[in-house]
Amino acid sequence: MDQVREVVAGNPYPGRGVLWARTLSGALCGGYFLTGRSAASKARAVRPGEGELIVSPTGESEHDPLRHDVAARERGGWLVFGNGEQVALVSDRLQEARSPIEALSGLEYEPDPPIFTPRITVVTDLRAGREAWFGAARRSQGARSAADVLTLTVRDLEPGDAVLMTTYRSDGQVVATGEPFLEARTEAGDQDELLEELWGALPPELRVAVAVFEPGRLADAAVRHEASAGG
């Protein structure tokens, strides 16, 4: 099985990505990373909020709902993280005692033609911690405009196991919707090493930020920004 660094480095433009992994020390970790090509996409930073990590603009950039949002939220015994406004929606649904599958249902991809960026989301129960639920709302490759909503339940990761989703895949020229999910191996011993593994694999000219966190310890997330984006 490929290493996380090989999987990420082998995609010249991954867009945004989510990851669920068990480090070699046995700790479960979530991860979120951002890349960008435009100046507006690069002018972002991941900042802590109350029980949240927030993607916000830097400098003179204005708020853009497709670029700036809650990236991760811990509330009511659940951790939710992903690439858009659906993170808050899924978190709210879980507080209404909906199951993770129900909370991830009915989501939509981003209204950004021609690529129609998928919404990718991860949910885990802080009280149990053995399972994570991945959700992806993707536009059909055919003529249908209705979203295809995929859910994946990941159980009992062994040390070194990792599962990830990215919004895009690219050959360096053409950008398309990312694979439904990818499995890989990590050599990271803890969240800091996992952050460095992800950071080092992202294309230097595109990387914006990476955040890695243990469930229940979002306030202690390891976060790294590109110097020009961190503000």
pLDDT tens-digit series, residues 128-145: 878 999 999 999 888 889
Give 115 or 165, the one with higher predicted confidence: 165
Listed in sequence order, the residues at least 6 apart from 84 whose beta carbon sits closer than 8 Å to its beta carbon are: 66, 69, 110, 119
Give the domain range for residue 83. Answer: 4-230
E strand spans, the chain: 16-22, 28-35, 44-49, 52-57, 69-75, 78-82, 119-125, 131-139, 147-155, 161-166, 168-170, 175-177, 182-185, 207-213, 222-225
* For residue 228, pLDDT beyond 70: no
Taking the C-alpha atoms of residue 146 and residue 139, their distance in angstroms, rounded to an integer, is 7
List, for residues 19-77, the tens digit of each pLDDT value.
Answer: 999 999 999 999 999 999 888 888 888 998 899 999 988 876 666 655 558 999 999 99
The predicted model gives 91-109 an average pLDDT of: 97
Q: How many domains does the chain have?
A: 1
Residue 201 main-chain phi, psi, to 5 deg: -85, -25
Contact between residue 202 and residue 19 where contact means Cβ atoms under 8 Å apart: no
Decide: helix, strand or coil at residue 135. Answer: strand
pLDDT at 40: 80
How far CA 107 is from CA of 87, 121, 136, 146, 221, in Å, comes to: 10, 10, 8, 10, 27
Confidence of residue 230 (pLDDT cuts 50, 70, 90): very low
Q: 170-226 pLDDT, tens per residue?
A: 998 899 999 999 999 999 999 999 999 999 999 999 999 999 999 999 999 999 987
Average pLDDT over residues 150-172: 96
User: Residue 88 sits in a domain of what CATH number?
Assistant: 3.60.20.20
